[in-house]
Amino acid sequence: MAKKIAIIGGGLAGLGVAYPLLLLGVNVTLFEKKQVGAGASGAGSGLLHPFVGEKALCNEKGFEGVAATKELLEIASEELGRKVFADNGILRFVVKESQRKHFAERANEFDLELTDEGLFIPNGITVFMPLYLKGLLQKCKKLGLRVEKSHVEELPGFDHVIIAAGAGVFSFALDLDVKPVKGQALRCRGSFKRSMIGKGHLAITEEQNVVHLGSTYEHHFENDLPDLEFARENIMRQVDSFLPDARSMEVLECRAGVRVCRKQGYFPIAKMLNERLSVFTGLGSRGLLYHAMLGKELADRVYSSL
pLDDT tens per residue across span 241-294: 899 889 999 999 999 999 999 999 899 999 999 999 999 999 999 999 999 999
Q: What is the band of 153 on the pLDDT scale with cuts at 50, 70, 90?
A: low
- Average pLDDT in the 54-74 region? 96
Separation between Cα atoms, residue 124 and residue 91, nearest integer Å? 8
Over residues 149-164, the mean pLDDT reads 84
Residue 99 — very low, low, confident or very high, per pLDDT cuts 50/70/90? very high
Q: Give Cα separations from 225 to 56, 185, 230 (angstroms).
A: 31, 12, 11
Q: Tell whether the model's pLDDT for residue 66 goes beyond 90.
A: yes
pLDDT of residue 36: 87
Sign, CA torsion 219/224/226/227: negative
pLDDT at 135 over 80: yes
Task: Tell me the domains of the chain and their CATH numbers.
Answer: 4-305 (3.50.50.60)
Work out the angle between the directed axes of helices 62-80 and 129-142 (0-180°, nearest 10): 70
Cross-strand partners of 114: 119
Confidence of residue 221 (pLDDT cuts 50, 70, 90): very high
Mapping DSSP to helix (H, G, I), strand (E, B) and coil, where does residue 120 land? strand
Confidence band (pLDDT; 50, 70, 90) for 204?
A: very high
Residues 6+ apart with CB under 8 A from 90: 47, 49, 120, 121, 124, 125, 126, 194, 195, 196, 197
| Angle subtended by helix axes 287-305 and 12-23, to nearest 10 | 40
The pLDDT of residue 117: 94
Q: What's the pLDDT at 35?
A: 85
Range in 35-44, 54-63, 228-237 the model is least confident about: 35-44
**Cβ(178)–Cβ(168) under 8 Å?**
no
pLDDT above 80: residue 156: no
